[in-house]
Amino acid sequence: MKNVISMDEHLKKGSLLVRDRRYAIRHPFAADAEFIDLEAGNAGSGVTSDLSMGGCFVCTSKPLLLSSRVKLKLTRKDQVVEALAAVRIVKPRIGMGIEFLDVDEKHHATLERWLVELKRER
């Protein structure tokens, strides 16, 4: 099977078991990212380092708080994807993992096209 990634389901970290919750294959991908916290109103920007159908990682020196709901705009080569999303992991001064909750319907085809192109490049 070409698209299956083999990895341990649990990672040991001290005495805690941590489950990797990703459900889509991630691909290296650079796009400009703009985001706004829908509750606090804090805005920021960064660059993605990877992308999947389920979300992306945004490199930014000022990540938002864990569980923040955000309006996200990704731009690459004059193509745009906008989505309602949530911050799922925060790495201080590095960035944040973002899960797409709802990709705007008019931008869904662009996201799919980006991912098809990334799969071809593998």
- Give the CATH number of the domain where residue 56 resides: 2.40.10.220
The number of domains in the chain is 1
Q: How confident is the model at residue 23 (pLDDT cuts 50, 70, 90)?
A: low
Q: Is residue 17, in this structure, part of any structural domain at all? A: no
Q: How confident is the model at residue 21 (pLDDT cuts 50, 70, 90)?
A: low
Q: Could you tell me the pTM of the whole model?
A: 0.79
What is the pLDDT averaged over residues 94-117?
A: 93
Q: Is residue 53, in this structure, part of any structural domain at all? A: yes
How many residues can be counted in the chain?
Answer: 122
Type and span of the H or E element at 111: helix 105-121
Digit-coded pLDDT (tens) for 90-102: 999 999 999 999 9
Digit-coded pLDDT (tens) for 60-96: 999 999 999 999 999 999 999 999 999 999 999 999 9
Q: For the CA atoms of the chain, what is the radius of gyration?
A: 15
Q: Is residue 31, in this structure, part of any structural domain at all? A: yes
